[in-house]
């Protein structure tokens, strides 16, 4: 998705449990969305003309929002909410938003929190469901983390669906990242194969903002704001000592959106290293020599590195996976700290390096105002989709409009920075960093 024309190979159809036949309780108070309302994925003239030239349908998403007819009878509907994977600012805001929309707008009273992610469905873990009432969620948006708890690692999909059937849930909301989305899709498909009637709706949660066909995920704005504060502190540290270097490692396993945006937000970074752009350490144009020239010229420097950058330097190490099945990354932050100190020590050049890794602090904070509002809209749209009988889909923001996106489409690849696009060009302009590759 790095700037190419989106025209072929895109299946945007969203699965439905059946034809909605019940009048929505929102019919008299809300502007309802018609099923035929669509949001074009790539509305550029070049993309539209390419599709027309090839006689292809212009790819578009279903518009999200309340429908005139709903699938589930509100008085008999039972819902579950599960949060999985790592923490992220705004999870509690989404939980609160889902509960409030279900309870106050649709009249659904049976809402349950599934504790500790997928583990909460599995009997052997003995986690009891939590009654989610408006009073229970009243103040949770002022707390970091998730009041439901979370966990990593796969669970037997059959056992998860057994629990859903046993409790007679009609809608299950999954809040999580790439691994959670894949699990939610598997749950939805298993439910359909059994002929059971239950909607599975996902709200994508990844602080890295790397979900395809989703303009922005919740928590990202807060993460950028907090990361900017850390970069400013690193800048202060670097200027406070002769030949000072502030080295900041930020989240970004496969995509460097936080590092890039945080650098632009505070304009104090001199080098930004991301997974999408290769760099060398040694040689006249490598990072170390370039950093040396910067220190000699200006006396200080700030280096921001995304956790997934520079993984080629760990090529000889065994590649292990975490509980979510992700390949564990080599610790580029500590690696760079060691290499920078070794390089300047060998040249009898005393540097004062301060290394900062704020990852767990950033992901645990309370959502800022922008993210909190965003989470509320995502929650509302997720409820509208579930009550109308949609399934195996997620809520995303695309072209400033909330849309329904099939999970399979969003998880087929990671969203990455286009290194020829305006974001990365702005980073290079702000930092002044050259291409740090030899040859």
- The whole model's pTM is what? 0.94
208 is catalytic: yes
Burial class (CB in 10 A: 0-12, 13-18, 19+), 302: buried
Distance of alpha carbon 273 from alpha carbon 336, whole angstroms: 11
Q: Give the per-residue pLDDT at 159.
A: 97
Beta bridge partners of 321: 327
334 Cα distance to chain centroid: 25
Marked catalytic residue, from 42, 178, 208, 221 = 208
Mean pLDDT by 10 residues, the chain (439 residues): 54 96 95 95 76 81 98 97 96 98 98 97 96 98 97 93 98 96 98 98 96 96 97 97 97 97 97 98 97 97 98 80 73 98 94 96 96 98 98 97 97 94 97 93
Domains of the chain, with CATH numbers? 15-217+365-410 (3.40.50.450), 224-362+420-431 (3.40.50.460)
Distance of alpha carbon 144 from alpha carbon 121, whole angstroms: 24
Burial class (CB in 10 A: 0-12, 13-18, 19+), 270: buried
Q: Give the per-residue pLDDT at 24.
A: 97
**Helix or strand holding residue 354 (H, E):** strand 352-356
């Amino acid at each position: 998705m790095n700037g190419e024309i989106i025209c072929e190979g895109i299946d945007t159809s969203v699965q439905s449990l059946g034809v909605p036949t019940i009048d929505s309780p929102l019919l008299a108070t809300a502007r309802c969305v018609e099923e035929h309302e669509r949001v074009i994925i790539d509305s550029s003239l070049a993309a539209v003309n390419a599709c027309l030239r090839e006689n292809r349908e212009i790819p578009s998403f279903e518009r999200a929002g309340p429908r005139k007819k709903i699938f589930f009878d509100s008085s008999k509907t039972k819902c579950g909410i599960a949060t999985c994977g790592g923490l992220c600012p705004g999870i509690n805001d989404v939980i609160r938003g889902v509960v409030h929309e279900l309870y106050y707008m649709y009249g659904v009273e049976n809402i349950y929190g599934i504790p500790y992610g997928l583990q909460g469905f599995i009997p052997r873990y003995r986690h009891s469901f939590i009654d989610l009432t408006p009073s229970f969620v009243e103040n949770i948006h002022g707390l970091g983390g998730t009041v439901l708890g979370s966990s990593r690692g796969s669970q037997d999909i059959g056992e998860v669906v057994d629990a859903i059937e046993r409790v007679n849930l009609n809608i299950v909301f999954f809040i999580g990242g790439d691994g959670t989305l894949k699990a939610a899709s598997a749950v939805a498909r298993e439910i359909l194969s059994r002929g059971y009637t239950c909607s599975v709706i996902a709200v994508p949660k990844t602080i890295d903002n790397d979900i395809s066909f989703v303009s922005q995920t919740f928590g990202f704005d807060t993460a950028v704001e907090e990361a900017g504060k850390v970069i400013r502190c690193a800048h202060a540290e670097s200027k406070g000592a002769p030949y000072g270097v502030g080295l900041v490692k930020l989240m970004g396993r496969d995509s460097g959106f936080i590092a890039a945006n945080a650098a632009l937000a505070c304009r104090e970074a001199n080098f930004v290293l991301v997974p999408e752009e290769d760099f060398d350490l040694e040689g006249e144009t490598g990072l170390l020599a370039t950093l040396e020239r910067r220190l000699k010229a200006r006396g200080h420097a700030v280096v921001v590195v995304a956790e997934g950058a520079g993984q080629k330097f760990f090529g000889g190490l065994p590649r292990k996976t975490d509980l979510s099945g992700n390949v564990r990354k080599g610790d580029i932050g500590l690696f760079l700290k060691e290499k920078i100190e070794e390089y300047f020590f060998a040249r009898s050049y005393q540097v004062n390096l301060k290394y900062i890794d704020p990852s767990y602090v950033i992901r645990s904070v309370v959502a800022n105002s922008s993210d909190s509002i965003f989470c509320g809209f995502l929650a509302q749209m997720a409820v509208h989709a579930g009550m109308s009988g949609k399934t195996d889909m997620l809520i995303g923001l695309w072209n400033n409009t909330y849309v329904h996106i099939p999970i399979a489409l969003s998880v087929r690849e990671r969203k990455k920075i286009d290194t020829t696009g305006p974001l990365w060009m702005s980073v290079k302009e702000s930092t002044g960093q050259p291409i740090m590759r030899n040859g």
